[in-house]
Amino acid sequence: MMPRKTMAGIAFILTLGICAGAQDDKLVVDFAQKGIEKQIRGNAPNNTKEGAEFIISDGAKGKVLDVKCIPNSLHVYPGVSIDFDPPLDFSKFGRIEVDLTNYSQEEIIFCLRVDNAGYWQTEPWNTEQKIIQPGRSGTVAVHFGYSWGKPGFKLDPSKIVSLMLFVSKPKTERFFRIERIRATGKPGDKP
């Protein structure tokens, strides 16, 4: 028979494993996936490259998405969009998080938008922002059902059709790297 202390330790480890399993992240986009670049587009007028350019590169922990936002008078919010057809189901999670690094000389206000299908004027999305200083990394997160930290559009996390990551209109070029995009948290999580 095992000593009581050992049994308690095993029970604790098993409990940790079960809890950790319930909180596992799910990779939303794998930049190493063949053909993934076909799902990514520059977020600019008429799908031109007049707002942003991007390339899949090698990062320290695998493939990443490098983005350059170009200043111009046509597009106020340059960045990238990633489309999903068929829609993705993240109903077992509470939010989408994007890890990124600012390689610009100035701070960047990053905005993440998570979309359902629908008429654009009804704004079928949730959005959040994060300020990241030059040379620093950070995470921007959108909690389902919240925009700008407050209750927003009742997003259906089982029908995510696209993600958009953009910056406010730059006066100079902005460079950033998207390291990882994941679904995480529990349904009903709040900001």
Nearest-CA neighbor of 112 among 181, 26, 27?
181
Q: How confident is the model at residue 134 (pLDDT cuts 50, 70, 90)?
A: very high
Model confidence pLDDT, tens digit, residues 34-81 = 999 999 988 755 545 557 889 999 999 899 999 998 876 566 688 899
> CA angle at residue 136 from 50 to 80, to 5 degrees?
25
Q: Give CA–CA dist 120/92, Å, rounded.
A: 26
Q: pTM higher than 0.95, yes or no? A: no
The DSSP code for 175 is E
Q: Give CA–CA dist 173/31, Å, rounded.
A: 23
Q: How confident is the model at residue 20 (pLDDT cuts 50, 70, 90)?
A: very low
104 in Cβ contact with 176 (< 8 Å):
yes
Q: Please give the pLDDT value at position 70.
A: 81
Model confidence pLDDT, tens digit, residues 105-124 = 999 999 999 999 999 889 99
81 in Cβ contact with 40 (< 8 Å):
yes
Q: Please give the pLDDT value at position 22.
A: 42
Q: Please give the pLDDT value at position 36.
A: 94
Q: How confident is the model at residue 143 (pLDDT cuts 50, 70, 90)?
A: very high
Q: State the chain's mean pLDDT as an integer.
A: 85
Q: Span 142-153, mean pLDDT?
A: 97
**Which sign, positive or negative, has the C-alpha torsion 42, 67, 169, 123?**
positive
Query: For residues 24 and 56, which has the higher predicted lDDT (pLDDT)?
Result: 56
Q: How confident is the model at residue 11 (pLDDT cuts 50, 70, 90)?
A: very low
> CA angle at residue 99 from 93 to 105, to 5 degrees?
155
- Over 60: is that where the pLDDT of 21 sits? no
Q: Please give the pLDDT value at position 57.
A: 95
- The total of other beta-carbon atoms located within 10 Å of residue 63's CB is 15
Domains along the chain?
Answer: 25-184 (2.60.120.430)
